[in-house]
Structures are given as C-alpha cells and as structure tokens.
Structure 1
C-alpha cells in the first residue's frame, strides 16, 4: 500500500476512534498517577524482601477470616493455638480484622463506594504487640514469617518495640527478624522506641546489629534524635555508649540537643529533659548549632520554659542575646509563653537570662509585656526588678484584666503604687551593684561575704511584691 493511500471513515467509525482516544488518555493519566504514588512508596521502602510471600514459597500467605483463630490470637490462648496449629502445620497467614474506619473506595471506573478500611495484620504482629511471648514462640516454631508486613509496612518487630515488649522482641530477633527493617513510614525498630519502658527493646536491637546511625526516611532522624525528643535519658546514655553522633543534624537542621530543647514537654517531664541535655552536653554537644530559622537550643528551651535546661545551656556558653531569623532573643521566647506555662516556673528562666546579661525590654513596651505575662506575677516581678526606674501609667493598670487582678491583688497593688512612689533605696543599691558586676554576677555574688538572703536579693529572687 502506498504512503498516499487513505481510508474513508464513517461517522460511526470516527466516533468510535474518538472514544478510544479518550479512554487511552484516561488510561495514561491513571498510569501516570499510579507511577507517582509507586515512586513515593518505593523511596520509603528500603527492602522489598518483605513481600506478601511466605518464606521459601512462591504463593502468597492465605488470608484468615476464622473468628476462632482470631480470638485465640487476640486473647493469647496458648492451648487453643496448640490445637489449631499442631506439629508440622504452618502458621504463616494474614489476618483481616473486621471493622475499621469507613473510607471511600474506587470500585470501578467512575464508581466509588463507602467501605470499611481493613488493615491487614499477622499472628506475629498480634501476639508480639500484646506481649504473648509463649504464643509468639509457638507461631515461630510453626513457620510464621518474621518479615511479613502486610499492613502499614511495619514488621512484628516494630510492633513489639513500639509496645515495649522486650521478650517478644528478643524472640523475633533470635528467629532472624531484621533489626534494621524499614516500615512504609520510613522507620526502623529503634525509631519506634519512644517510651521509657522500651529501653530493653532498644538494648536487644543494638545487640542484634541495629544501626545506631540509621536515619528515618522523611525526618532523617537518628535514634539519638528520637530518644532526645521524647526525653529518654537512659536511651540517650545507651546510644551514646554505642557510638551515636552527638551533633548529627536531621532534615530540620536540628541536632539531638536541639530536638530535646524544641519538643514540648509537660511540667512533670522537665527533669527528664534536663537529664537528656546533661548527657548530650557531657558527650560534647555544641550549644550553638542553629536550625533553619537561626534558633539556638537556648531559644527553644526558653520557649518550653525549662528553667534547668536554660541554666545548663547558659553555664555551657550559650549566647544569651543571640538573635534568630526574626530578630528575637531568648528573652522574647520566654515572655511569649510565661502566662501559659506557670507550672514550669517561667520566672526562673527570666531570672537566669537576666543574671547572664540578657537584653531588657524597651521600657515603652512594658505595658504590652505586662498584658501578655500578667498571669505569671513572679515573671513580671523578676523582669521589672531589672529596672532602676519605672514609669507606671494608667496603661499598666488597663493591661491587667480584673480576674487576674483579683487573683494577685497584693502584687499588683504594690506595682501600681509605684505611680506615686519612687523605687526604694535598697532596690536602687541592688541595681547599682548589678550594673557594676555585669557579666560577672554569678561568679562574684556567691563569693561575697554577704548573708544568703542578700545574695539572693542581688540575683533577683522573687518576693511577691515590688518596692
């Protein structure tokens, strides 16, 4: 047939071709979207060896929907499992639990239905996360695959470590579980050891070759970052003894010290985080590394109002007046949160910063600061006692809500009385001594032959009123 030959198409044929072209275009679009999703998935999966295949076989494990078997697994009924899996039987299968969250699922081209979202699991996952060690041992003896991960890509070892089940973790490791398996979330088992009770799991993982410098895929956290962020001093000590790099940065440019200082923590956790920071600094952590916003660990510790950590960082050379990208010093951070973290004793943070030479608030901005910090009168007291003169005006009175004034009437009456009364001679003498000893306060004052009460007064200890 010559190149100039042509076909004559009917209108019906042309319409059919157009429909075919539209269908091909939709197909190409679907394949492109699927390819993008697959690429993201593959980046998070370091090993594809944990497919839905039984060890040494070519067929995928069966899906078990038998409620008797599921009940025995979820309740840890060892005798029932022995009957269900006698010797020479195999316990390598997948569980599809009933229930779950509802979600829209594509059931055909252009068709969607509301269905239950099922998260697949395995007998090993169920028994490992619940601490049923005897049941877990039986299943392993019956050939259950330790690397099977049909749900969110987490292995049974991930489950055991996350649930703080060291005996189960050791069983899995002794039967060949990969201590460096990566879940679909990009986490190794060491990354899910986030509770104090998971210490023994972490120890077992390291003994079986877990990578102490293994990084999570998205955040690029090392196990030391995770332990520091969750305030786990014993984990931090363990990881440092195994050679963890103390100043390695994650995706946010945070070192483990920065991660510990930046993570929000409750008042009852302050001591744990202080101990973590002590260990990191003793191991050589630097107090100066900055994140993307040029914040130092001191900025972050002030935002969390951890007075002991602030004092520790300052004692180790942290810059009290370092500015972040937004032009804010550590003092700004503590004044922003003082009212919300009164249980953390924010006044101690302000006291430490001032004693180490922090810049003070511009006097004209004090009414604004008072408005934000009035719920923590001790913070206000320490801050204002760093000034030899105060110009108290009606704006100061208006900055304190009536309910706060009622709760702390004695203090605020003493403050507002300064509108008519100058500061006391005692306070003026304190200010003069502090100016003279600027930069040397904490070295000199404890050595002065003065009563402890006067030394504390010089260092801005709070008394509950201003004079």
Structure 2
C-alpha cells in the first residue's frame, strides 16, 4: 500500500455510493427547477408582449357554458368556428359538470357530498380526443399550449391518448416536450402503449429528455417502456442514447423492471426473439427466463440460437432446452411466487430478510450459468 493511502470499509464505500446517488438526484432536481424557471420566464415574456400589443390584460377565466363544452367534446368544428371567431381568445379553463362524488368540508364542521371537479382547457379536450382541426383552430386563436390547470398539459393528454397528429401540432406551436405534470411525469413517461410510439418519436425530435426521471419513482422513459412491454419504444430510446443501467428509487434498472412484470402465457412465444438477439449474453437470458414460472420451449428456440453461441455456452443452452419436456423445479416456482407477492419491492425487501446470502442472491436472480 502506498504512503498516504488507506482502505475503505464496505460501509464507507456504501456511504460514498449513497452520497453520489444523492448528488446526482439533487443535480437532476436542480435541472428541473432551472427548466421550470426558464419556462416561466418565457411565458412571462410572451404575456408581457401580448399586453404591450393590446394594452389589455387577459386573465384566465373559468367557462361553464354547456354550448361551448358540447362543441369541444364532440369536435364540432363548425360550432367552434362560430364560438371562437377571429379576435376571440381560447385561453380559459373549463370546469366540467359531473364526475366522481366526494365529501367536501363547508366550514363549522359541516360536510357535503359534491361532484369532484377536474379542471381542463379546450386544448386538453381536443388534443386528448384527436380533434386535429379543432385543435388547430384553438392554437390559431392563441391558446396557451402549456396551461395545466388540472396538473397536466395538453401535450401529456395527447401522448397518453396516442394522438400523434395533435402531439405534432402542439410541439410545432411551442409545447414544452419536458413539461412535468403534477404527478412528476414528463410526456415521454405517459407513452405507455404500443400506439404511442409515434408520439414518442415526435417528443424526441422536439428535444424530450431521453433520460428524464419521474419525481416519485425516479423512472426513466426506458423504465416505463420496459415495464409496459414495449420493444419498439425500447429500441427507439436506445437509439437516442437512453442509459440502460440507470436505477430507479427501488434500485431497478430497466432490465430488472421488465423482468419484474408478470406476462400472459400467450406472450411466452416471443422468447425466441430474445434468444436470437441476446444469444451471446447468457446472463441477460437467464435473468429474463427466471422471471417466469412457465416456459413454452419449442424447436424454434433451438433454431434461434446461432451455432457458435451453442458451442460457447453449451451447458447453459442445454439446461434451457431440457425444459421442453419438464416443468420448472419446485425451488424456482417458490422463488417466482415470492417475487410475485413482493412485486416491485423485491430489491428493497429481500436484502432485509433474515436469510443466508445464497438464498437472498437466488431470490434476486443472481447469475448461475444454468436454468432449472
């Protein structure tokens, strides 16, 4: 050991790792704060320029007009052209009637059962329902693309509902591709279905943060895509430089997140694709296969593994193909049951259990070089 150096204990190393994670998280939250400030200043400048031109302040008002609401919710373009003539404004909040019932305090210990109101805007309604022409009209009338009275922007709404044309219109008119919702989600985080792929592509083209984190769970868009079984989204995000080793608050990487989600039996046939593309990485394949209690091994699996990989990892692939005629072992089935019970808490709970380390590692899908 050289002079002036010393040995770090495992506790000290873990402390340094935690400090590093905390610094990274603080850095990310500062970036978000800076982004929010920049967005606010841009909006403020836009409002000030508008006021200078018209010399009239235009505060956001609440609209309860059922005629306007009916035109918006049905996508009636002709009615909207009459209701929003040139020179009118589309910058107002809508308080729709109805919805869920909830108890509300009225003061002096009195409570009443009233309808829960969720504020929205004309942009949210038209963007979420794919009324492209109506949305275009509202944008021409100067609707604020980043207004979020209900906690989400119209861009969140269009992406969540897989409305690619509306998403494109909003982005062209300056919608913030990294806007953070009340729940701490960016638009990329709500692209959680196969039909949302075009929305995800547009967001990335307009500067969406590929490694942006959710505020509550610290998930990246790659985590969200992996959890929801979206291979095309995963491929897209990787091409845009998504980090494959980022851990969320539960310590899960996107790969862990994908493995932790239960799959339907009819989806198991897709495994041969995994074998084909990951044949040179037995560690990856083992983790994936050990996340399931049932494997439908077929001849297609064998045909999907290149000959050179079969030779290099002979024992590993033989252990997989031997399951074609036999069920998984009882030990593995017990592991699957426990992991299913713990769901997303596996990596938090298992290390705290009073169990031998080899059992903990087994539950955490440690690499063993074979599948049983």
Q: Same fold (TM over 0.5)?
A: yes
Question: In the TM superposition, what whole-angstrom CA distance separates every residue of 1:290-340 from its partner, at most 9, and x where no partner exists?
Answer: xxxxxx55542x2475769x999998879x9xxxxxxx9645335889xxx
Q: In structure 2, how many angstroms separate the alpha carbons of the residues matched to 1:217 and 1:247?
A: 18
Alignment of 1:46-195 (within 5 A): 47=36, 56=47, 60-151=59-150, 153-195=151-193
**What TM-score does the superposition give when structure 2 sets the normalisation length?**
0.65
> For the pair shown, which has the larger CA radius of gyration, 1 or 2?
1
Match of 2:347 in 1: none
The count of residues paired between Structure 1 and Structure 2 equals 281
In structure 2, do the counterparts of structure 1 residues 282 and 138 end up closer, same or farther at CA, with 3 Å as the change threshold? farther
Match of 1:384 in 2: none
Structure 2 gaps of 5+ residues are 1-28, 52-56, 320-329, 340-368
1:59 deviation in Å? 5.5
Match of 1:244 in 2: 242
1:270 deviation in Å? 3.5
Match of 1:226 in 2: 224
1:268 deviation in Å? 3.5
Structure 1 gaps of 5+ residues are 1-41, 290-295, 321-327, 338-355, 360-467
1:220 deviation in Å? 1.1
In structure 2, do the counterparts of structure 1 residues 209 and 304 end up closer, same or farther at CA, with 3 Å as the change threshold? farther
**What TM-score does the superposition give when structure 1 sets the normalisation length?**
0.53
1:247 deviation in Å? 1.9
1:62 deviation in Å? 0.8
Q: In structure 2, how many angstroms separate the alpha carbons of the residues matched to 1:285 and 1:185?
A: 38
Structure 1 residue ranges (4+ consecutive) displaced by more than 4 angstroms after TM superposition: 48-51, 271-279, 281-286, 303-308, 310-318, 334-337, 356-359
Q: In structure 1, how many angstroms separate the alpha carbons of the residues matched to 2:82 and 2:275?
A: 52
Match of 1:12 in 2: none
Question: In the TM superposition, what whole-angstrom CA distance separates every residue of 1:243-278 from its partner, at most 9, and x where no partner exists?
Answer: 111122111111111111111222343456775797
Structure with more contact order per residue of length (Cα contacts < 8 Å, sep ≥ 6): 2
In structure 2, do the counterparts of structure 1 residues 282 and 187 end up closer, same or farther at CA, with 3 Å as the change threshold? farther
Q: In structure 2, how many angstroms separate the alpha carbons of the residues matched to 1:246 and 1:282?
A: 18
The answer to whether the 8 Å contact 2:290/2:371 transfers is: no
Q: In structure 2, how many angstroms separate the alpha carbons of the residues matched to 1:285 and 1:207?
A: 35
SS in structure 1 opposite 2:113? Answer: strand
